[in-house]
Amino acid sequence: MKLLITRPVAITGEGGVRSFAPGIAVEVDAATAAQILERQAGIPAEPAAPAPAPAQPETPATPRRRRRPANART
């Protein structure tokens, strides 16, 4: 899982101690990702699933009127 680290964190696992600094994106295994997310030290860098597209309106929006320049009003 790819995470964006938001605050300093050190994780102890089977491979030893791993330290992460804020502002980096890391690819970690599921167990390490769970620890980082549990400690609120990172956020997912990629969405898990694509968001559904918003529904399109059936009628087109009415165009906005343009304002005339101030010197054309006189």
Kindly state the tokens that stand for 57. Answer: 């309106």
Tens digit of each residue's pLDDT (9 = 90 or more) over 33-48:
899 999 999 988 876 5
The pTM of the whole model exceeds 0.85: no
The answer for residues whose C-beta is within 8 angstroms of residue 1's C-beta and 6 or more apart is 27, 28, 29, 30, 33, 44
Q: Could you give all domains of the chain from N- to C-terminal order, each with its CATH number?
A: 1-47 (3.40.5)
Q: What is the mean pLDDT of residues 7-33?
A: 88
